[in-house]
Amino acid sequence: MENQKPNEEPKKINNAIKYSAMGFQMFATIGLLTFIGYKIDEHRQSKTNIITALFALAGVAIALYQAIKQVTK
């Protein structure tokens, strides 16, 4: 700790906040799209939850795209 630069500690905290916020954003994106797919399947009264699965996969793809875009900034 004594060998660290003075600005290094706030930078670590900022990175931790940034990446934890990114995790919550991914969770929200996947959760919202999965919920929308579930509601569509519920409304259609389908026996299989194919729309839920497709929307969940789309949510994962969108969340990964957003995460990669934020990390490469």
Backbone angles phi, psi at 65, to 5 degrees: -60, -45
Q: How confident is the model at residue 2 (pLDDT cuts 50, 70, 90)?
A: low
> Residue 63: which domain range?
28-72
60 within some domain = yes
14 within some domain = no
Tens-place pLDDT, residues 25-63: 999 999 999 999 999 999 999 999 999 999 999 999 999
Torsion angle defined by CA atoms of residues 65, 68, 72 and 73, in that order, rounded to the nearest 10 degrees: 60
20 within some domain = no
Tens-place pLDDT, residues 4-22: 566 677 777 787 888 888 9
62 within some domain = yes
Confirm if 52 and 36 have CB atoms less than 8 A apart: no
User: What total of structural domains would you count in the chain?
Assistant: 1
Among the listed residues 50, 17, 52, 15, the one whose alpha carbon sits nearest the alpha carbon of residue 32: 52
pLDDT for 37 equals 97
pTM strictly above 0.85: no
5 within some domain = no
56 within some domain = yes
38 within some domain = yes
